[in-house]
Amino acid sequence: MEVIFKGRHVSIPDNIKNYISKKLAPIERHLDNVESVNVVVSTIKNTTIIEVTVNAKGLIIRAQEDGKDWRDVVDSVVEKLESQIRKYKGKMYDRFRKGHNVEPLEEEVEEEDTIKIDKVKEFPMKPMSAEEAVLQMELLGHNFFVFRDADTNNINVVYKRKNGGYGLIITE
């Protein structure tokens, strides 16, 4: 399992990298085909924020925690990941018991029993900058907004973050 570290506004010492890697090691035993684990460590006003994204074959699990003590934050984020894995495995076990095919993960999203689209919206997409998209999102009172980037012509998403800031998802 490859663990990729990235520090935002902070350099990550080797002892912290080793601690995080040691704590994340059991995840590989719980999930098959873990391709990589991305760990982003950042600090804002004496608060440590750790985001962990586990990329396995056909599955992405993500957890984020923040707090004052980085060891507590690591423990909390690993606990959250393990909870999500248990939940996922429980769903897989239930499907197996019901006689559904468990192997192809891509087909699981298309299960007709649980996913129902209640509403479909269509709207024209005027090319705009991310800042314009945030303003449009605020005007509409939404938590996210899909837009076409004026520079790249790609479809991107801006969204409100828990800390009050904004996020940008850039598609390729």
Q: Identify whether 123 is part of a domain.
A: no
Model pLDDT for residues 30-80, shown as the tens digit of each residue: 777 888 889 999 988 889 999 998 888 767 788 899 999 989 999 999 999
Domain count, the chain: 2
Residues 88, 150 within the same domain: no
* Residue 6 counted as domain residue: yes
User: Looking at the structure, do residues 44 and 82 belong to the same domain, yes or no?
Assistant: yes
- CATH number of the CATH domain containing 23: 3.30.160.100
Phi and psi of 143, rounded to 5°? -90, -15
Query: Could you tell me which residues are beta bridge partners of residue 61?
Result: 54
CA distance 111 to 29: 27
How many other CB atoms are there within 10 angstroms of residue 74's CB atom?
A: 23
Q: Residue 120 to residues 5, 73, 116: CA-CA distances in angstroms? A: 39, 39, 11
Does 122 fall in a domain?
no
Residue 96 lies in a domain: yes
Angle at 79 between CA 31 and CA 114, to 5 degrees: 60
84 and 28 within one domain: yes
Question: Where a domain ends, among 55, 76, 108?
Answer: 108
In a domain, 50, yes or no: yes
Write out pLDDT tens, residues 77-109.
999 988 888 887 777 666 666 665 555 554 444
> Is residue 13 domain-shared with residue 73, that is, in the same domain?
yes
pTM of the model: 0.57
Q: Are 20 and 39 in contact (CB under 8 A)?
A: yes
Q: Which of 77, 108, 139 is the last residue of a domain?
A: 108
Question: Residue 42's domain spans which residues?
Answer: 2-108
